[in-house]
Structure 1
Amino acid sequence: MTFRTLLMASTAAALLAPAAQADVNIYSYRQPELIQPMLDAFTQETGIRTNIAFLNKGLVERLQAEGDRSPADIILTTDISRLSAAVAAGVTQPVDSAVLEENIPAAFRDPGDQWFGLTTRARIVYASKDRVDPAEVTTYEDLTDPKWQGRICTRSGTHPYNLALVAAVIHHHGEEAAKTWLEGVKANLARKPQGNDRAQVKAIWAGECDISLGNTYYMGKMLEDEEQQDWANAVNVLFPEFQNGGTHVNVSGIAMTRAAPNRDDALQLMEFLASPRAQALYAEVNHEYPVSPTTEASDLVQSWGTFTPDDVNLMDLAALRGTALRLVEEVDFDG
């Protein structure tokens, strides 16, 4: 049995154990190994221990079922839609913290102080070094050009990462234009949407397609994996923009649960993760961009190039998620 399987099997019981076994309990959509270095640093600095339950689905539903008896103090998740869904479900509480306000720009936190971004990632284009001139892909609108027919790979259109991008298309161009954009991208697909973002880069390396959509941090993850380094080295990272905006970005973030039995310790964890030390470590370990304006991305991440983030309010995109999903289904994007 793998460590992750053991962790998932034992965590629920551990969270319900006496409080002495953990001072801050975390429900996380993020895999434990991605955030454990930051949690270890937090414990080293404060003496406060943490316990994490990895839930790849049903996090909000679990908190709703547990209600005020929930042992969870904190939720960690990726994607603005998941953060806003937790707020809408009433399983979080507002947090008033001068430290969080100082370290996290307003664009990356909830106006009602219910959630706070910790890192950002750009939704970019991976392009074959051998078959694609980087100058050919400068905007997201370029992806509908007939020259890409049979040359694009992507994961499912219903995945939260792609739905957030579609929501951004709706924001910039309206619903009808977004539907046309989806139809244009679908017409250019080399294969049925499948796999994760890394699988698309593998397909480029294998010659199955020439460009793909993906998050920036996957480049770092592939370079860390001996079996995937050839995939990563076969592509360039390109930062398309919207014709009237910038490069689409999303966040990983944190929120305090409504029940939060260890509220004071949980607040310390939130403030620590927003601190320059943790922001630098978070960005280095996960190859993401820190939200703190005083913390730079790692040398590796900076080597991929610079871009101008789209300035759309992330809550506006979250509000468009339902429309984005409906459009993806209407055009049968994954069919």
Structure 2
Amino acid sequence: MSWIAFVLASLGVRFGLTSALRSLLSSATSSTASSSSSATKQLEPKQQLHPPTSKATTAESPTMSTSALQGTLSQLQTTPPPSPQKIATLLTTAKKQLLQLKALLPNPSTTPPILHLARQTLETGALLSIRLQDPDAFTRYFQQLLPFYELPASKFKPAGDGQRSKVTGLYLLLLLTKGDYAGFHTELEGLEVEMGGARGAGLEQDKYIGYPVKLERWLMEGSYDRVWGATKKEGVPSEEFAVFCEVLIGTIRSEIASCSEKAYPSLPIANAKNLLFLESEGSVVEFAQGRGWVVKDGRIYFPLQQGEEMRTEKEILVASGMVIENTVGYARELETIV
């Protein structure tokens, strides 16, 4: 019996140890689970400190973009105007703001207030481009303004005419300075059609459009003295027109100089001063040297005419013979045709 008791006691000890081990393992597992759950609970608030940003919160509202563009436009329209570097920076900013508003070109969804603001911004950019003496930039602004000018009045009618008359007149004057008479008349005919045929004659009565119209007519007539008088300060509609007028006078002066080279062997400096619309005889000498003319004893000698006078008599006879031979040949061909 003692041996049996010993075996039972040993088995009880083993079972007791096993249960004890099981209890220890279960408690350790439960404590680990509880610690992990508590750690998870501590991490959750940290994850909520930086929630994902939605697109709606980062996108700029149309009201904010409109107010920003209005602020940029007010800076561009200050008197006196900003420095050229500042103007270029502000114009770049204004174009970006127009893109944000999707108003760089008019579309059916654009509201009239934004259309008015966009047109006003582009017109300001066009006028400031002339102050910067950048005709290419002015031309680009004018091309961007055309879709706004072509909008029907039922969809968009700005207060007054805005700056359209002024910008259009400047564009016509720019075409004259380039000698693009075909483009000038194409643009003018478009304006006449828009005004309704019979009212086209009223374009000359417009302060800004009528100015280049008169200049073009005087240029065709050869009335350069009237053009010269109209380009002086008191005859110019605005400061922007004066910039292009200086270029136009330079173009006219070059045309007169080319004609003078072919028409005269030489000219007195005093006569050349009046003919070329120059202020002083010193300006005449400087202009003559720039074109390669010879200034001697108070006169200007044109090298082209001197070269023609130096041709030998033999060369003149040969040239005359060729003309006579060609004329006789044309006459014989005409007889054959008849």
Q: Could you say whether these structures have the same fold, taking a TM-score greater than 0.5 normalized by the shorter chain as the test?
A: no
What band does the TM-score fall into relative to the shorter chain? under 0.3
Higher helix share: 2
Higher strand share: 1
- Structure with greater contact order relative to length (CA < 8 Å, sep ≥ 6): 1
Which of structures 1 and 2 has the bigger CA Rg? Answer: 2
